[in-house]
């Protein structure tokens, strides 16, 4: 939002306060000059003019005068109330003056006349209140009273000269009938186009039963401007012009922060989750759990305490909450706490453009950091496809410039969607992450498969996973490939349980083996112990034997010596051969 609300300050421009328009014109209307605003009846000329004055009075310290040729002052004040402009307060503070300049119906015209009276009266008023801005609403009504083209021309020049002389930033509005281009050149006072410094055309057309408003700056002397037709909407705040990208707007800051998708395994597949501020597209056929996946995202955003907005075009917000509860996604507490706002947009009619503006306005009001649009493909239905594409582009652009994380779902057409191909709005090319949900029909079952088609700037899993919804929540299961075929649902379950049994058997066998081994080990240990004892006994026995032998030998030799001593013979021989027994 910041980049749009950032005021373009330009001394030569008078900002209108109309979001989008100031960007197109690089700051607003030419300061101290005259702008011509042409459009069909009901195209928003009066609102544009009044918005310009209100903004001047409130934000630019430029009081203004509104000269109403068509409507009474009371009606203008009452109409402005609908936009919350509170004109009576401005009038009281002398920041705004409304001149009731409708020609009286019973006025009789005899001969030539001019506008000096009006201009003199306005001059006095302008001096009195220090007015810098002025709007002449529906000048054509007044001009119609003038008898001949020459007089019309003369009075327009008088008006223009007067505006320039007093350096008032002026808007002159005039009706244009039917086709814009031809009506301006064939109009009796088309010369006004050449006279003014800036010219803006408002266009209101109906295409396929859908109203479409467009605005185009036709000329702007001495300034660059966006020449394209820009759609606009008359909304709650008055006037809102949609622009894809203003002149010279810088790129929005990107974030490395990741936000959870609400499904833990999906986060892993995406290398940590979605990027903050990314645009995520979830495509799939009806019933592939697109809403559930986006609901999971909304829930996790609320858990983190981020303000979230959920636009539901298919069903009522309360229905979505109820349905999501069945898969363990509980949103009502966040709705109660005000963190989450559900918008049932089924009733939101009108062109794609007006839907976008409503989305933007509501999201801004709610200060949403995370936004879910379910499904975005509705845009293509309410308007014609041509504009819907631009709208989707602006939606992505806008959410990026705000750093809003956008998750939108898109319904694929059964007919051409089989190709995994383009989404109706071609939003798939703009989205940062594209998750595709698919059905896999196999042995009498329909199972949901999830795959990540792309995810910019992040490694992501190439695997198709099975999306499982249960009352415990949403999770992803690995799928089995057997013989080149992907197994899902019951087949996967069978495979899983077979594997489970196999592991169990293996586990039991292992246990048994371990017990046997333990027993054997124990036996061996016992045996080792007893043998050790035996060894010790043998050693003792051996030592004992040795000792006995020695002592016997000693005893014998001592005996023999004693004997020899006693005999007193065989001295030498007894020494050399003592062993002979």
Binding site for another protein (CB under 8 A): 99-101, 103-104, 106-118, 120-121, 123-125, 142, 145
HSE toward the beta carbon, residue 47, CA cutoff 13 A: 23
Q: How far is the CB of 167 from another protein (least distance, A)?
A: 19
Of 157 and 493, CB closest to another protein: 157
Q: How far is the CB of 107 from another protein (least distance, A)?
A: 5
Strand 308-312 and strand 433-442: pairing? unpaired
Q: How far is the CB of 123 from another protein (least distance, A)?
A: 7
Give the distance between the most distant pair of CA atoms in the chain: 193
Taking residue 547's Cβ as centre, other Cβ atoms within 10 Å add up to 10
Question: DSSP state, 428?
Answer: G
Of 113 and 493, CB closest to another protein: 113
Of 154 and 175, CB closest to another protein: 154
Of 124 and 502, CB closest to another protein: 124
Burial 500-528 (b: 16+ CB within 10 A, else e): eeeeeeeeeeeeeeeeeeeeeeeeeeeee
Taking residue 87's Cβ as centre, other Cβ atoms within 10 Å add up to 23
Omega of the bond prior to 375 within 30 degrees of 0, cis? Answer: yes
Strand order in the sheet with 473-477: 340-344, 308-312, 370-374, 405-411, 279-284, 433-442, 445-455, 465-470, 473-477
Of 114 and 413, CB closest to another protein: 114
Q: What would the DSSP string read from start to end of 287-346?
A: TSSHHHHHHHHHHHHHHTT--EEEEESSS-HHHHHHHHHTTT---HHHHHHTSEEEEEGG
CA–CA distance, 509 with 523 (Å, rounded to integer)? 21
CA–CA distance, 180 with 187 (Å, rounded to integer)? 10
Of 108 and 566, CB closest to another protein: 108
Element (H, E) at 121: helix 116-129
Of 60 and 159, CB closest to another protein: 159
Q: How far is the CB of 103 from another protein (least distance, A)?
A: 8
CA–CA distance, 172 with 189 (Å, rounded to integer)? 13
Q: How far is the CB of 13 from another protein (least distance, A)?
A: 30
**CB proximity list for 145: less than 8 A, separation 6 or greater:** 103, 109, 113
Of 118 and 339, CB closest to another protein: 118
Q: How far is the CB of 98 from another protein (least distance, A)?
A: 12
Q: How far is the CB of 102 from another protein (least distance, A)?
A: 9
Q: How far is the CB of 35 from another protein (least distance, A)?
A: 21
Of 110 and 533, CB closest to another protein: 110
Token pair for 329: 């996604």
Of 135 and 437, CB closest to another protein: 135
Q: Is the dihedral of CA 221, 226, 228, 234 positive or negative?
A: negative
Of 92 and 205, CB closest to another protein: 92
Q: How far is the CB of 172 from another protein (least distance, A)?
A: 15
For the chain, the distance separating the N- and C-terminal CA atoms, rounded to the nearest angstrom, is 124
Of 99 and 368, CB closest to another protein: 99
Asked if residues 436 and 269 have their Cβ atoms less than 8 Å apart, the reply is no
Q: How far is the CB of 67 from another protein (least distance, A)?
A: 8
Q: How far is the CB of 154 from another protein (least distance, A)?
A: 11
Q: Among the residues of 6-72, which ranges form H helices?
A: 21-24, 45-59
Q: How far is the CB of 192 from another protein (least distance, A)?
A: 19
CA–CA distance, 43 with 215 (Å, rounded to integer)? 9
């Amino acid at each position: 939002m910041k980049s749009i609300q950032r005021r373009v300050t330009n001394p030569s421009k008078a900002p209108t306060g109309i979001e989008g328009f100031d960007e197109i014109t690089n700051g607003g209307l030419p300061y101290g000059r005259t702008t011509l605003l042409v459009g069909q009846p009901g195209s928003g000329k009066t609102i544009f003019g009044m918005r310009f004055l209100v903004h001047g009075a409130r934000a630019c310290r430029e009081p203004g005068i509104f000269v109403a040729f068509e409507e009474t002052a009371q009606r203008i004040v009452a109409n402005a109330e609908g936009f919350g402009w509170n004109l009576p307060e401005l009038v009281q503070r002398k920041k705004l003056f409304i001149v009731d300049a409708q020609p009286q119906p019973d006025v009789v015209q005899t001969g030539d006349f001019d506008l000096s009276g009006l201009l003199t009266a306005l001059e006095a008023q302008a001096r009195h209140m220090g007015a810098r801005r002025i709007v002449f609403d529906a000048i054509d009504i007044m001009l119609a009273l003038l008898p001949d083209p020459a007089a019309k021309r003369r009075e327009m020049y008088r008006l223009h000269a007067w505006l320039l002389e007093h350096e008032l930033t002026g808007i002159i509005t005039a009706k244009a009938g039917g086709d814009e281009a031809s009506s301006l050149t064939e109009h009796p006072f088309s010369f006004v186009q050449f006279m003014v410094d800036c010219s803006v055309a408002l266009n209101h057309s109906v295409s396929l039963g859908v109203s479409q408003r467009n605005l185009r700056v036709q000329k702007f002397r001495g300034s660059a401007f966006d020449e394209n037709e820009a759609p606009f909407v008359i909304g709650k705040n008055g006037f809102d012009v949609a622009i894809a990208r203003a002149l010279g707007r810088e790129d929005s800051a990107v974030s490395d922060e990741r936000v959870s998708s609400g499904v833990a395994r999906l986060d892993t597949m995406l290398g940590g989750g979605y990027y903050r501020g990314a645009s995520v597209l979830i495509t799939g056929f009806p019933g592939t759990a697109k809403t559930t996946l986006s609901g999971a995202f909304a829930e996790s955003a609320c858990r983190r305490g981020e303000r979230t907005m959920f636009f539901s075009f298919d069903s009522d917000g309360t229905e979505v909450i109820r349905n999501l509860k069945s898969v363990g996604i509980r949103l009502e507490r966040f709705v109660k706490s005000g963190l989450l706002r559900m918008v049932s947009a089924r009733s939101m009619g009108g062109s794609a453009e007006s839907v976008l503006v409503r989305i933007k306005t509501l999201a801004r009001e709610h200060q949403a950091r995370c936004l879910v649009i379910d499904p975005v493909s509705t845009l293509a239905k309410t308007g014609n496809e041509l504009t819907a594409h631009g709208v989707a582009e602006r939606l992505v652009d806008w959410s990026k410039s705000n750093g809003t994380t956008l998750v939108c779902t898109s319904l694929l057409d059964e007919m051409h969607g089989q190709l995994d191909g383009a989404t109706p709005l071609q939003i798939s090319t703009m989205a940062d992450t594209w998750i595709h949900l698919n059905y896999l029909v196999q042995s009498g079952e329909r199972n949901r498969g999830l795959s990540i088609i792309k995810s910019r700037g992040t490694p992501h899993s190439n695997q198709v996973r099975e999306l499982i919804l249960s009352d415990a929540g949403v999770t992803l299961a690995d799928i089995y490939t057997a013989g080149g075929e992907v197994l899902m649902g019951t087949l996967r379950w069978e495979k899983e349980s077979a594997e489970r049994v196999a592991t169990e058997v293996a586990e039991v066998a292992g246990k048994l083996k371990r017990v046997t081994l333990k027993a054997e080990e124990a036996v061996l240990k016992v045996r080792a112990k007893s043998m050790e004892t035996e060894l010790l006994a043998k050693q003792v026995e051996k030592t004992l034997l040795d000792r006995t032998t020695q002592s016997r030998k000693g005893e014998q030799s001592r005996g023999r010596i004693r004997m020899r001593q006693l005999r007193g013979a065989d001295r030498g021989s007894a020494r050399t051969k003592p062993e002979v027994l």
